[in-house]
A and B are shown apart, each in its own frame.
Chain A
Amino acid sequence: MKTVNVSDITDAVKDMCIEATHYLSEDMKEALASSKEKESSELGKKILSQLEDNLDIASTDMIPICQDTGMAVFFVELGQDVHIEGGSLSDAINEGVRRGYTEGFLRKSVVSDPLIRVNTKDNTPAVIHYDIVPGDTLKIVIAPKGFGSENTSRIFMLKPADGIEGVKNAVLTAVKEAGPNACPPMVIGVGIGGTFEKCAMLAKKALTRPLNVRSDLEHIASLEEELLEKINNTGIGPAGLGGNTTALGVNIETYPTHIAGLPVAVNICCHVNRHATREF
Chain B
Amino acid sequence: MDIHIKAPLDEETIKNLHAGDMVYISGTVYSARDAAHKRMDEALDQGKELPFDVKNNIVYYLGPSPAREGRVIGSAGPTTSGRMDRYTPRLLSLGLKGMIGKGKRSPEVKKAIIENKAVYFAAIGGAGALLSKAIVSSETIAYEDLGTEAIRKLEVVDLPAIVVIDSEGNDLYETASERFKKE
Instruction: List residues of A whose CB falls within 8 A of some B CB.
Output: 40-41, 43-44, 47, 50-51, 53-55, 57-58, 61-69, 105-109, 117, 119, 121, 146, 148, 151, 179-181, 183, 233-237, 239-244, 270-272
- Chain A residues contacting B67 (CB-CB under 8 Å) are 105
The answer to whether A54 and B128 touch across the interface, beta carbons within 8 angstroms, is: yes
* B178 at interface, CB cutoff 8 A: yes
Known: A108-B148, A233-B183, A239-B102. A67 touches B64 (CB 8 A): yes
* B48 at interface, CB cutoff 8 A: no
- Chain A residues contacting B183 (CB-CB under 8 Å) are 233
The answer to whether A67 and B62 touch across the interface, beta carbons within 8 angstroms, is: yes
**Which of A63, A69, A146, A244 makes the CB contact (< 8 A) with B180?**
A244
B23 vs chain A, min Cβ distance (A): 13
Could you tell me the dominant secondary structure of chain A's interface residues? loop
The number of residues on chain B lying at the interface, defined by a beta carbon within 8 Å of a beta carbon of chain A, is 47
Known: A65-B75, A67-B75, A180-B103. A240 touches B177 (CB 8 A): yes
Complex Cα distance, B66 from A181, in Å, reads 24
Binary contact readout B99-131 vs A (1 if CB under 8 angstroms, 0 otherwise) = 000111000000000000000001011111110
- Chain A residues contacting B160 (CB-CB under 8 Å) are 50
Between B75, B160, B172, the greatest number of chain A beta carbons within 10 A of the residue's beta carbon is seen for B75
Q: Specify the chain A residue showing the minimal Cβ separation from B123.
A: A239
Between B68, B172, B176, B183, the greatest number of chain A beta carbons within 10 A of the residue's beta carbon is seen for B176
The answer to whether B75 and A66 touch across the interface, beta carbons within 8 angstroms, is: yes
- Chain A residues contacting B182 (CB-CB under 8 Å) are 233, 235, 244
Complex Cα distance, B129 from A241, in Å, reads 20
Complex Cα distance, B177 from A237, in Å, reads 7
Name the interface residues of B34-90: CB closer than 8 Å to any CB of A.
Answer: 35, 62-68, 74-77, 79-80, 82
The answer to whether A236 and B128 touch across the interface, beta carbons within 8 angstroms, is: no
The answer to whether B147 and A272 touch across the interface, beta carbons within 8 angstroms, is: no
The answer to whether B179 and A242 touch across the interface, beta carbons within 8 angstroms, is: yes
**Which of A41, A62, A68, A181 makes the CB contact (< 8 A) with B68?**
A62
Binary contact readout B148-183 vs A (1 if CB under 8 angstroms, 0 otherwise) = 110000000000101010000000110111111111
The answer to whether B65 and A64 touch across the interface, beta carbons within 8 angstroms, is: yes
The answer to whether B79 and A239 touch across the interface, beta carbons within 8 angstroms, is: no
> Which 3 residue pairs of A and B lie closest in terms of their CB atoms, listed nearest first?
A242-B176, A235-B181, A183-B125
- Chain B residues contacting A63 (CB-CB under 8 Å) are 65, 68, 74-75, 128-129, 132
**Which of A41, A51, A181, A236 makes the CB contact (< 8 A) with B127?**
A51
- Chain B residues contacting A239 (CB-CB under 8 Å) are 102, 122, 124-125, 162
Q: Specify the chain A residue showing the minimal Cβ separation from B65.
A: A107
Known: A180-B122, A181-B82. 7 other contacts (CB 8 A): A41-B180, A50-B124, A66-B128, A105-B65, A180-B104, A181-B103, A242-B179
Q: Specify the chain A residue showing the minimal Cβ separation from B176.
A: A242
Contacts A/B (CB < 8 Å), 27 sampled: A50-B130, A54-B128, A57-B130, A63-B129, A64-B75, A65-B75, A65-B128, A66-B77, A66-B125, A66-B128, A67-B64, A67-B76, A69-B65, A105-B65, A107-B65, A107-B74, A107-B75, A107-B148, A108-B147, A148-B102, A148-B125, A180-B122, A235-B179, A239-B102, A240-B173, A240-B177, A243-B180
The answer to whether B180 and A235 touch across the interface, beta carbons within 8 angstroms, is: yes
B34 vs chain A, min Cβ distance (A): 9
Complex Cα distance, B98 from A132, in Å, reads 52
The answer to whether B180 and A40 touch across the interface, beta carbons within 8 angstroms, is: yes
**Which of B64, B127, B132, B179 makes the CB contact (< 8 A) with A107?**
B64
**Which of A53, A105, A148, A271 makes the CB contact (< 8 A) with B80?**
A148
Known: A62-B68, A65-B75, A105-B67. A57 touches B102 (CB 8 A): no
- Chain B residues contacting A270 (CB-CB under 8 Å) are 125-126
Q: Specify the chain A residue showing the minimal Cβ separation from B35.
A: A117
Known: A54-B129, A65-B75, A148-B79. A179 touches B122 (CB 8 A): no
The answer to whether A105 and B126 touch across the interface, beta carbons within 8 angstroms, is: no
Complex Cα distance, B178 from A183, in Å, reads 18
Complex Cα distance, B77 from A234, in Å, reads 25
